[in-house]
Structure 1
Amino acid sequence: VRTREALPQDWAATQNNLAIAYRQRIKGDRADNIEKAIAAFTAALTVRTREALPQDWAMTQNNLANAYSYRIKGDRADNIEKAIAAYTAALTVHTREALPQSWAATQNNLGLAYSDRIKGDRADNIEKAIAAYTAALTVYTREALPQSWAMTQNNLATAYRDRIKGYRADNIEKAIAACTAALALYTREALPQSWAGTQNNLANAYRDRIKGDRADNIEQAIAASTAALTVYTREALPENHAETLFGLGITYQDANKLDLAYNTFESAIATIESLREEIVSGEESKRKQAEHFNQVYSRMVEVCRELNKITEAIEYVERSKTRNLVEQILERDSKTIFPPEVFTQLEKYRDEIAVGQYQIQNGKAENLKVLAQHLQELRQQRNELQNTYLPVGYGFNFGSFQPTLNEYTAIIEWYIINDKILAFILTKTREVTVWQSQPEDLEALFNWIDKYLQNYYEQKQQWLNSLGKSLKELASILHIDEILNQIPKHCDQLILIPHQFLHLLPLHALPVNHSAENSRCLLDLFAGGVSYAPSCQLLQQVQQRKRPDFQSLFAIQNPAGDLNYTDLEVQVIQSYFNTANVLKKTAATLTAINNSDLNTYHCAHFSCHGYFNFTNADKSALILADAPIADTPKKTDSERYLNVRAGETNDLDKCLTLDKIFTLKLDKCRLVTLSACETGLIDFYNTSDEYIGLPSGFLLAGSPCVISSLWKVDDLSTSFLMIKFYENLFKLFKLDNLEAGDIAIALKQAQNWLRNLTIEELDKFLEEHKAKIETVLAQLRVGQRIIFQESLKLIKQRQPLPFANPYYWAGFTASGL
């Protein structure tokens, strides 16, 4: 009835109300609800214009800003900018003179947005937040609007505690004063949740306090946290409970009360892990929350190390590294992972828990204790049901993992904490040992990675020329020789588990024995090869996959038609297999892949362009034949279209993206090779200890091993490397009994071969494959054949070892077994 044409103002009012309902909606997907709210607010603004209906326009702008503040999808920084813009727009109508309360409310909201702002200078943002809160308090007085006054005082306290400008000691005093002021109104009896939140803020301020007696400040912080926990119970408000325990644990740790810190962090982690769907998720805002709570694990690892609980430390390291991955799998692939009836039951659990949590948080529970207990039981039932089907879970017991290791295998697992680099050394029989750096080593590592990435993205030639020198510096910073001294001499196979940005680096190429004359690297020390894994848990999972056969090939060959040497690469590789299905050039489409039964092949080889999406890792992709589009859409959907190279737009709906890879079934696959650029990169910008990239997608899809690249590789040298790698596999091992570690050995030997290849040996290699080279060259245009010959001439000018630079041989890694 209320259509835009017949009753535009009523229609706009209903759109606004609908948006508010979606923003507050409990059931359904939270991210989708907020998107619908934004769409409805935006629709309302087509009628509620500033000129025609200024007050309605301003109110809707404020509501739209609130929705952007809570938005999950899209870039978090951009969402906050849109919120700030909308609040600022609202303030052109919501003036102090005309609408003082609306003006004050918008000022308070603007302060929150500036406090959360990612773009711009952090110090300036906090100053703007303080200015906005202070402005709001000229209307929100204790006498006129006491609850709004107390709320803004609490927000102001947080801003002063985070303040960068001014004297730190004075800022914290102002934070304490503001919290104390708020608590004059917020009582436990009248406003228990607001009281508890302010107590928690007060505890954080006392923990950071510089003035006064340190011991007294610690006791005040402990008392305030303990008070907050009388309201923030695990049963009633588990997320706030975990947050407060985290702060209390830090207080105990700072006071060197390590046993109390251990117990407190243990309780916090137990609460976090009971809130899988409620706290940890692949959704943007929940991912940010997970990043924050990941600090609990980091702190716990540090406390375990200080208490010499080394086994517990590695277990908490592992638990931190799989939390988000599990949740992303659940969010994206629930219908694939779970049978229909189980998926339906999990949805029922989710909705019932959400409704109950809403009733508790909004004071609508008839019997708080009974409802809280019921929710706890529901969470336990849900988690038990999920764990029956999930390939990777929260629990990691080192005692059950250690016996699964080969007696000749050693693992180095790195973990970066607040001020140190830790390296855990794991073997089959020995107790876990841990090496730790000095604080200056961590600072040096951060400086090194900044320079490395800057050169890679902005000065590629300088990055390439200095790669060998850079790796020497990295080996020194990581003290790789000291770590290697803790590995038993009989271990001939090494598995590396990096952490955060270390995943981006060719650690297998680190130089060793700096004092020795010979130029050796980590790869040279282990005859059984050096491979990688995202975590021990994923390693444990792939160990269960027995895939001895290696006789059938599925391959994607040069979909873009511009990688001349991949044609040679795939044709040679194809000749090694008994059966092969090769999708060449224009035939290599997503439709063709979907029509191929990938579940029947032992090896999947992708020779194409790759792309890693740092904004949304799920949209990282292998670029296929029909992905490029002729005309760039007028309204570019950043979720769907991407520019891999200048002047070329690709449709991700026609690419093999990570979210599509997760849905693949590779139950017979022994190896996936991603012979493309940057296929081994992961999202290292977020700090959630997550490993999300193309390799993890194929590992979880079923392959025990994935070979991928860490940078934009050279087309010709990659072809040589891949040909030699597969040649090694087929010459050295039984193809009906390929064992764990065989792939790492074959790759190690191929990399050492390329690294030490002389001009004479290169000529011999080219002669061996002369027939196939000539076949490929015959398919090329004259200009392309000339380029090939010129490339060979340039290679032969790099005397005496044309591929000695790590750029040519060290870019590929083997993840898994």
Structure 2
Amino acid sequence: MSGLLQSITPVDQDSNPDYIEYEFKPGLKELLVDSVPISKTLSVLDTVSEFVADHLGLSVKDFEARLLTPATASNDGLEEKIRPFAHLKAQVLGRLGGEYARLAEQLLKNEELVEDTNSTEDANSEDNRTAPSISEIPTPDHPSSQDYLQFLEQVLQATVDSKGNPKVVYPLLEANLNKLDDNFLDILQTWASDRFSELEPETTEAIARVIGEFSSLIRDFPLGNKASNMEIAIAGYQTIITVFTRESKSETWATIQNNLGNAYRDRIRGERALNLEKAIAQYQLALSVYTKQNFPIQWAGTQNNLGNAYRDRIRGERALNLERAIEAYQLALSVRTKSDFPYHWAQTQNNLGLAYRNRIRDDRALNLELAIEAYQRALSVYTKSNFPYDWAQTQNNLGIAYRNRIRSDRALNLERAIEAYQLALSVYTKSDFPIDWARTQNNLGIAYRNRIRDNRALNLELAIEAYQLALSVYTKSDFPIDWARTQNNLGNAYLYRIYQDRADNLENAIAAYQQALTVRTKSDFPINWAVTQNNLGIAYRYRIRGDRQENLKQAIVAYQLALEVHTKEANPIECLRTSRNLRHLHFKQGNWQTAIDAYQQAIAALQLSRSWAMNDQRRQEIMAEAIAVYQKLVQAYINIEQSDKAIETVERSKDRNLVELLTNRDLYPKGNVPQEIITELDRLRREIPW
């Protein structure tokens, strides 16, 4: 079975092979179904239906009728043999959406009668597609199939006539938002498949190019349901890749692979981690054709996109993914120079700033300075008059970097952040750029929440106001990821709010975090899930209502959940932050052994952070924090009367200080010391573990 299938019925030497049920291993079936055009999926189902019907001694017509007939209508024993295929067909059709999803629902209802149970396949799972019904008596809310077809032909013609001009196509899309759903997707694929099978190759290629151009337009269309728009784009690209193969049109094939990568990177439906893996795979396929030597411009563009995917990647080690992103951006910049490609040079500089801003390895303060420098380089090309949208986007990113900046005066950095966000909002209006406006409002809220100057209580009110403005655009249904991020941030503002009742504020904070966690799951968004779990732990730690001990237990659970992701290997900085919250809580409660475990975890995270530090100043800062951790660890050992462990920890701390002294690059032997001794000392310093 090549490792793709697994048995779901017991198998022994007496088992009849004809009645052993198999299923794909988790995730494989969904991946295969999503990657195959609907016409081919239906063709496979028809072929399998013929085989099963023949095997059961039924005509295809009778077999299909039995699939749709409740089991109570017959007692000849065939249901048990038909049921596995009915279940499989329902799962496949359910993923195709539209009328197929409704047929799948009927199949599953019939299966309920066979099983005599209320359990069914979850029709509301994230990756299942649903669509309003197609009505042959059209109404404004329920267009007919002819309405969809007419709209499809109209929008493709507009794409041709305008040469893909958004100013022409987007008003047409805006006037037909009620048709941008999964029914439209089905009709696009069916219409294209029919045309491709009956037209000459040249005409087929011409139509396919128009569909590809339209797919890129709908991918970037800012209105309507973003999730549906992305599915239509993906379906369009997948449809035309059957026309432009690597063998026949390698350059066009590579372009489609790159565009598919962009669509999967921004996809809302499906598992986020898997979508990003698909994006990376598509970019790498494109790069198998786009070489720097033969296609330098396209190669650089795809390297830039690959950097974006690695920057957002969930699977794999976060620190390594960011290093790969930086490497990809730097490769792109070897072609995208300011003199030859100023716009794209600025675009990649902006992206490089994002990667440095989030970088885990090396010195955090230095990384933020590198991010600011990259944004400022981008702004040397992106001016408000020439590139207002890109200028606003980079101002927003610069604001984030100043907000997180470690060097220079903290209060001044936050003022600069607020100023940058307000500049961005001079272009990003709610009417013209609602999504970007909401994103910047969210960021402005973070800056006000942390602001040092002016009145603290008023700043927190301004933060709450900004978050609530963002949520007027970010709804859970249309923008689940951004909605969850803003809910998390709103929780932070309520957590520290000064005005109003403190107990109410903490309840509002907990409610906001719990809302965020309905989207920020460990499987889909492990890093964000851990951040919100840490925040939820803080809220429960300070909660006024409810039983105090129960609240503290909830806080400990939340911190421990966060540490499942915030490990010292994956992210020592976040590990240190969360373990600090946990160990302080254990210490105050007198849970000495669990406090000791948390302190030891913190020391391990500090050790790894130090190994990544690039300069002596940062290493000294880490040592200063480590001393405080060692002191608490010693106290905890003393409290449980483990004096030997306390003394051992003191000696260990002294050893660390000695090692730090030896690794100080500014200290060298005095007097007339041979150069080979100094060289050997440098070598030994590099090899000293911490």
TM-score range, shorter chain: 0.3 to 0.5
Query: Relative to total residues, which structure has the larger helix share, 1 or 2?
Result: 2
Query: Relative to total residues, which structure has the larger strand share, 1 or 2?
Result: 1
- Higher relative contact order at CA 8 Å, sep ≥6: structure 1 or structure 2? 1
TM-score in terms of structure 2 length: 0.47
